[in-house]
Amino acid sequence: MVLNDIEKDVKIKCIETETTQSALAEKIGSTGQYVNRIIKKKDGVLNKTFVQMMEGLGYDIRLVYEKKEDRK
């Protein structure tokens, strides 16, 4: 099971960076509607087979987000 609330996490990161979902979509070459659909979809972000394999091995999944360091 994925323990993160990915929809909430993305929304919080958007707020923290003062970025709209539409602006985020533009940065990744997508549309705001697609980004919204993916983060709302239960198995839209992580591969379903990967989740099943980890569950089969007795693990839950917890994503940790680390801010990229400024690269020069």
pLDDT score for 25: 94
Is the CB of residue 2 less than 8 Å from the CB of residue 39?
Answer: no
H helical segments located in 1-72: 6-16, 21-27, 32-40, 48-56
Predicted local distance difference test score (pLDDT) of residue 58: 95
pLDDT for the residue 44: 67
Question: What pLDDT does 68 receive?
Answer: 86
Q: Which pLDDT score is estimated for 59?
A: 93
Pick the residue with more confidence: 41 or 65?
Answer: 65
- Higher pLDDT: 30 or 1? It is 30
pLDDT average, residue stretch 13-29: 94
Q: Whose structure tokens read 């239960």?
A: 42
Q: pTM higher than 0.85 for the full model?
A: no
Retrieve residue 22's tokens.
């539409």
